[in-house]
Structure 1
Amino acid sequence: MMHTLTTFGLILLELLALFAAVSVLVALINRRFGPERLRDWMADGRLPGPVKGLLLGIITPFCSCSTLPMLAGMLKAGVTFRTCMTFLLSSPLLNPVVIAGIVLLFGWRVALSYSVVTAALTLLAPLLWERLGLEAQVKRVKVVGETEPPPWRGIRREIRPALNEAWKDLRPLLAPMVVGVAIGAAIYGVVPQEQLAAVAGDDKPWAVPIAAVAGIPLYVRAETMLPIGVALQSAGVGLGAVFALMIGGAGASPPEVSMLTALFRPRLVVIFVATILVTAICGGFLIPLVSG
C-alpha cells in the first residue's frame, strides 16, 4: 500500500512538473513567433507535414503525457490533424533518450529495427485515422485567428503571461491526471515482474499480445522501462514481448488516456488506445525478426 502511494505521489509530481514546463515553453513559443508561424512551419512543403510531426516527436524527448500541451498548442494554431497525431504517437516512442538506451542495452541492430518499425507505424496510423474521418472526433479547439502576435518584450516580462496561459491549459486536465495516475500507480504496484515472466515467456505463443495488453495500463516511461526490460528478458521473457510491453506502456498510459478525454471524443480515445495496442503487437512480432 505504501509503495503504491509513493509511486502515485512521485508520478503525479513528475507529471505536474513536466506538464507545467512544457506548457510554459509552448506559450513562450506562441508569444514569440505567433501561432501562424508554427502552422506554417508544420505545413506541407519540401517535407510533408506528417514527416515534420514525426521529426518534431523525435527531437522532443517527452513522455506520453507531456506531449499533450504541445499537441494542444499545435491544434490551436491550426496544424493539420494528421501532423498533430503523428507527433502525438512518435514523441514518447522515438525520442533520442529511448533510442540511445536501446543501443546501450540491446545493441544497434535492435535499436535500428525498433526505430524503423515504430516510425513506419506512427506514420501509417494517422493516415488511416484521417481516411476514416476521425478528425471530426477532436473536440472543438479555438483556433487562433490571423492576427499578429503582440510585440515580444523579453523573456523576463513574458514569463508571467506564459505562466497564466500554462495554468489555463493545465487546470481542466488536473482531475483526469489525478484519476489516471491513481489507476496507473495501483496497477503498477500489483503486477510483479515474476508473474509477467511466467505468462509471457519466450516459448509462449501468446507472449507478445499479453505483454502489449499488460503494458497499456502501466504508467512506465520508456526510459524507465528499458532496465525493467533487461530484467524481464533475463527472467525468460522474449525480446518481442519486452518491446510490446515497452511500446504499450510508453505509448498509452492511464494518465495520458484520461487527459486525452479533454481533447478527443470517446471514439477517438478508443481508436488511439487500439492503435497503440496494435503497434505494440506488430512491433513485438516484427522487431525480433528484423533484428536477428
Structure 2
Amino acid sequence: MTDMPLGAPGQRSVLRSLWQTQRVWLASATILAALAVFDPLQAAESAVFAVGALLNTAPFLILSIAIAAWAGATGADNLIAKAFSGTPLLMIGLGALAGGISPFCSCGVIPLIAALLAMGVPLSAVMAFWLASPIMDPSMFVLTAGVLDLEFAVAKTLAAIGLGLFGGTVVHLMMKGGAFADPLREGVGNGGCGGAKMRAPRPVVWRFWADADRRAKFGKTALSTTLFLAKWLMLAFVLESLMLAWIPAETITEMLGGDGLVPIATATLVGVPAYLNGYAALPLVGGLIEQGMAPGAGLAFLVAGGVTSIPAAMAVWALAKREVFAVYIGLSLSGAFASGLLFQLWTSMT
C-alpha cells in the first residue's frame, strides 16, 4: 500500500477534520509556538499565566461541572427547568439576583449556563444570570469595599443586578418577537434546537450511582464538559496574558481622565480590550479616581470590562450562536454606560 500523496483529497479531508474538531487547541498551540520563536520569555510567561489561571478557577469549575453532570444523571434537570417555567419577569429577577450574589466566576458558570439552556430554561432568565455573574460575587464585594469604598461596592452590586434585569428583559421582549428559539451552538448541550424547549418529564433518581447507565452519563457529561472548558479557557487565558503584557496601565490611565459623559463612554469602550481582571482592575480604578477620574467612569470601566473580559466573552462565544453573542456584547456596553451615568448622577447629588 503506497503512502498518500501530500495534498491528496483524503489527506486534506483529515486535516480539515482535525482543524474543525481541535481548532481551539491548535489556536492556543499556534500562539504559544509563535511566541516561542519571536519572544521566548513571553511564551513562558503566557504558559505559566494560563496554567495558573486554570488552577485558580479549578475549584469553581469542578463544582459547577459536578452540578451539571449530577443534574443530568439524576434527572433533576427537569425539576430545575420547571422552577424556571413561571412568570418570565420573576425568573429574570431571580436570575439577576442569583448572578449578582453567586460565588461563581465567569469561567465556573459556563457548564451551569450550558446545562440550564439545554434543560429548556428560557434564554431571558439565563441571560440575566449570565450578565450579572461576572461583575460581582461575595469576595469581590469585600475587596471592592476595601480597595475603593463601601458605596462603590454597593453601586457595583446594584449595577450587576440591574444589568441582569435589563438584559433579561430585553431578551424576553426579543423572544416574544420570535428571536433566539435555538440559542446554543450545535454540539453544546442538546445542540441548537434542543436548547430552548422543555424536555419530556422523566423520573428523578437521586442515587444515580446505583444505575450503570446513569453513572455512565455522569462520567460522559463531566468529561465532555471538562474538555470543552479546558480548550476554551486555555485560549482565553493565553490571550489575556498577552493583553496584560502589551497594554500598559499608563495608556489606560491617559484615556480615562476627566469629567462628563465622554469619560464614561470612553471607559465603557476601553473596558472591553483593556480590562485586566476583577481583582487587578480595582487598584487601577482606585488610582485613576485619585487622579481625578469620575467615579461613574470607574464603575462603567469595571462593569463593561467584567462582562466583556476575554474569559467571559469567549464563554458566550463558545456556547451560544453569534446572534446571542452580539446581543450579549450590546447589552453589556449599553448597561455599563447606563450604570456609570446613574452612579455619576448619584455621587454628584450626595
Question: Matches of residues 90-101 of structure 1 in structure 2 within 5 Å?
Answer: 90-101=132-143
Deviates more, 1:185-194 or 1:27-36: 27-36
Going from structure 1 to structure 2, the CA distance change for 1:45 and 1:129 (only over 3 Å counts) comes to closer
Alignment of 1:217-256 (within 5 A): 217-218=273-274, 220-256=276-312
Out of 232, 235, 244, the position equivalent to 1:179 is 235
Give the alignment partner of residue 65 of structure 1, picking from 91, 95, 107.
107
Residue 283 of structure 1, CA deviation: 1.7
Q: TM-score, with normalisation over the residues of structure 1?
A: 0.84
Indicate the residue corresponding to 2:333 in structure 1: 277
In the TM superposition, residue 272 of structure 1 has moved relative to its aligned partner by: 0.7
Secondary structure of the 2:335 match is helix
2:189 paired with 1:147: no
Q: Distance in 1 between matches of 2:259 and 2:96?
A: 35
Contact preservation (8 Å) 1:180, 1:254 = yes
Count of residue correspondences: 291
Report deviation, 1:49.
1.0
Shift of the 147–136 alpha-carbon distance from structure 1 to 2, 3 Å rule, reads same
Q: TM-score, normalised by structure 2?
A: 0.72
- For 1:208-257, what per-residue CA distance to the aligned partner results, in whole angstroms no more than 9, with x for missing partners? 22222222235644244323322332344332222222112211222332
Q: Indicate which of 78, 90, 94 corresponds to 1:52.
A: 94
1: distance between equivalents of 2:216 and 2:280?
Answer: 33
Supply the distance in 2 between the matched residues of 1:6 and 1:238 (Cα, whole angstroms).
36
Moved more, 197-206 or 118-127: 197-206
Q: Which of the two has higher C-alpha Rg? A: 2
Q: Does 1:165 align with 2:221?
A: yes
The corresponding residue for 1:25 is 67
Distance 1:25 1:174 in 2: 17
**Inter-partner Cα distance in structure 2 for 1:266 and 1:183:** 20
Shift of 1:23: 0.9
Q: Whole-Å Cα distance in 1 between the matches of residues 338 and 182 of structure 2? A: 25
Question: Structure 2 vs 1, CA of residues 59 and 22 (structure 1 numbering), >3 Å: closer, same or farther?
Answer: same
Paired residues for 1:70-85 under 5 Å: 70-85=112-127
Letter of the 2:204 partner, please give it: P
Q: 1:255 to 1:111 in 2, by over 3 A?
A: closer
Rounded to whole Å, the distance in 1 between the matches of 2:283 and 2:209 is 42
1:35 offset after TM fit, Å? 1.0
Q: 1:106 aligns with which of 133, 141, 148?
A: 148
Does residue 123 (structure 1) correspond to residue 165 (structure 2)? The answer is yes
Change (3 A) 1:187 1:159: farther
RMSD: 3.0
* Conserved 8 A contact 1:137-1:267: no
**Aligned mate of 1:40, from 63, 69, 82:** 82
Q: Which moved more, 1:187-196 or 1:12-21?
A: 12-21
